[in-house]
Amino acid sequence: MDIFEDNTKVTDLNSLGEFKLIDEITRDFQCRDKSTYKGIGDDCAVLEYPDKEVLISTDLLVEGVHFDMVYTPLKHLGYKSAAVNFSDIYAMNGTPKQITVSLAIPSRFSVEAIKELYAGILQACKNHHVDLVGGDTTSSLSSLFISVTVIGEGEKGKIAYRSGAQVNDLICVSGNLGASYMGLLILEREKAAWKANPNMQPDLSGNEYVLGRCLRPEARFDIIEILKAKNVVPTAMIDVSDGLASELHHICKNSGVGCAIYEDKVPIDPATIIACNDFNISPMTAAMNGGEDYELLFTVSQKDYEAIKDIPQISIIGHITESKDVALLITKDNKEVEIKAQGWDSFRQ
């Protein structure tokens, strides 16, 4: 596998062995957080969390299911592998502190390729002030498997669950939606054209924003900091990994409520709209069902309206209703359309 633009010499994994590989890929990781009492180098890490709630989440990314090596740079993949786990902690109104990373590696990957993957993980850890404290490596007969476990902390009484939404709460979302899905469609289109003619060059110009949102998404730590500064504690929260429609239903089901959102309030970037036009797809379809935007969807009490109404990174898109697990979209012409969850499902064909 040739992932380098220059003539970088590659080293076969078999020539290095597991333990030397671990030394190679973890050399640049330094412990920075005071809760990391002991990091990599022993049988397990030692963490210390006085007076905090401990948050733990795990994600598994599988080649051919969650990513395609035809168009996914390894450094971006490493960054994304870490960032999507950080997002789970932010979605609880918490702060990620440590991760462990485990890999099952096919023999076609070189040592340099794995180091490139870890360079992306390292960059994500630096950006979010997270320590890598352990993990495992093994061989794989076919696909690359990446398993990341994240450990974080939350203040007692301020953790946001999916089950806390109350009737009349405001529904808010960070950033914008649908971009990652459109980036994926562009990459798949260019892959299909390349397979038909391996001599062709992919045409990705003008799509940098949506491609970036797909290949290297960012977890929204800034939203947690903004809410904390405003002294706003969400009543419920979830990250948008499977599409806005699915996440709304998760909150409604867990909280025993319904919701209504307004089509003209759902934030969609102009670059996403242009890409949707190219594919003859409704921008609302991309926003509602696309997934992997990793924005934060949350509810707040109406008393917090003044505190959040002018925050540019946050859009108020609707409110919580009494109708149990009934999610409605109010269209621009004031019609009510029931929202169906059609986002990502790992086991649906």
* Nearest CA-CA partner of 304 in 234, 215, 202, 221: 234
Whether residue 348 has pLDDT greater than 90? no
The distance from CA 232 to its chain's CA centroid, rounded to whole angstroms, is 23
Going 282 to 211 to 209 to 327, the CA torsion angle's sign is positive
The model's pLDDT over 147-181, given as tens digits with 9 standing for 90+, comes to 999 999 999 889 999 999 999 999 999 999 999 99
The distance from CA 332 to its chain's CA centroid, rounded to whole angstroms, is 29
Domain that holds residue 197: 170-338
Q: Identify the pLDDT of residue 289.
A: 94
Give yes or no: residues 179 and 314 share one domain. Answer: yes
Residue 203 pLDDT level (bands cut at 50, 70, 90): confident
Q: Is residue 205 part of a domain?
A: yes
* Nearest CA-CA partner of 184 in 348, 349, 343: 343
331 CB-side CA count, 13 A: 7
The model's pLDDT over 230-239, given as tens digits with 9 standing for 90+, comes to 999 999 999 9
Task: Give the 3-state DSSP-derived string for 143-209, with helices as H, strands as E and coil as C.
Answer: CCEEEEEEEEEECCCCCCCCCCCCCCCEEEEECCCCHHHHHHHHHHHHHHHHHHCCCCCCCCCCCHH
Distance, in Å, from the CA atom of 181 to the CA atom of 240, rounded to the nearest integer, reads 12
Give yes or no: residues 183 and 264 share one domain. Answer: yes
Q: Is residue 3 part of a domain?
A: no
Query: Which residues are paired to 58 by β-bridges?
Result: 149
The domain boundary, picked from 127, 154, 181, lies at 154
CATH number at residue 48: 3.30.1330.10
Residue 20 pLDDT level (bands cut at 50, 70, 90): low
Give the helix, strand, coil percentages of the chain, each rounded to 5.
35, 25, 40
Whether residue 46 has pLDDT greater than 80? no
Q: Is residue 343 part of a domain?
A: no
* Nearest CA-CA partner of 172 in 273, 332, 310, 283: 310
Give yes or no: residues 194 and 137 share one domain. Answer: no
> How many CB atoms within 10 Å of residue 82?
28
Give yes or no: residues 82 and 108 share one domain. Answer: yes
Q: Identify the pLDDT of residue 303.
A: 97
The model's pLDDT over 106-144, given as tens digits with 9 standing for 90+, comes to 999 999 999 999 999 999 999 999 999 989 999 999 999
The model's pLDDT over 279-308, given as tens digits with 9 standing for 90+, comes to 999 999 999 999 999 999 999 999 999 999
Q: What's the domain count of the chain?
A: 2
Q: What is the DSSP letter of 109?
A: S
Contact 139/294 with Cβ under 8 angstroms? no
Q: Both ends of the chain: CA-CA distance in Å?
A: 29
Least confident window among 133-137, 181-185, 247-251: 133-137
Give yes or no: residues 174 and 137 share one domain. Answer: no
Q: What is the DSSP letter of 103?
A: E
Give yes or no: residues 331 and 227 share one domain. Answer: yes
Q: Is residue 162 part of a domain?
A: no
Q: Identify the pLDDT of residue 16.
A: 60
Q: Which amino acid is at 88?
A: D
CATH number at residue 307: 3.90.650.10
Whether residue 316 has pLDDT greater than 80? yes
Give yes or no: residues 114 and 233 share one domain. Answer: no
Task: Please indicate whether residue 341 or residue 177 has the higher confidence score (pLDDT).
Answer: 177
Q: Identify the pLDDT of residue 49.
A: 74
Q: Identify the pLDDT of residue 44.
A: 55
Distance, in Å, from the CA atom of 172 to the CA atom of 203, rounded to the nearest integer, reads 35
Going 270 to 337 to 246 to 93, the CA torsion angle's sign is positive
66 CB-side CA count, 13 A: 18
Contact 120/75 with Cβ under 8 angstroms? yes
Q: Identify the pLDDT of residue 297.
A: 98
- In the numeric block, the tokens 């990994």 are attached to 241
Task: Give the 3-state DSSP-derived string for 223-250, with helices as H, strands as E and coil as C.
Answer: HHHHHHHCCCCCCEEEECCCCHHHHHHH
Distance, in Å, from the CA atom of 1 to the CA atom of 61, rounded to the nearest integer, reads 19
Distance, in Å, from the CA atom of 122 to the CA atom of 117, rounded to the nearest integer, reads 9
Residue 1 pLDDT level (bands cut at 50, 70, 90): very low
Give yes or no: residues 204 and 139 share one domain. Answer: no
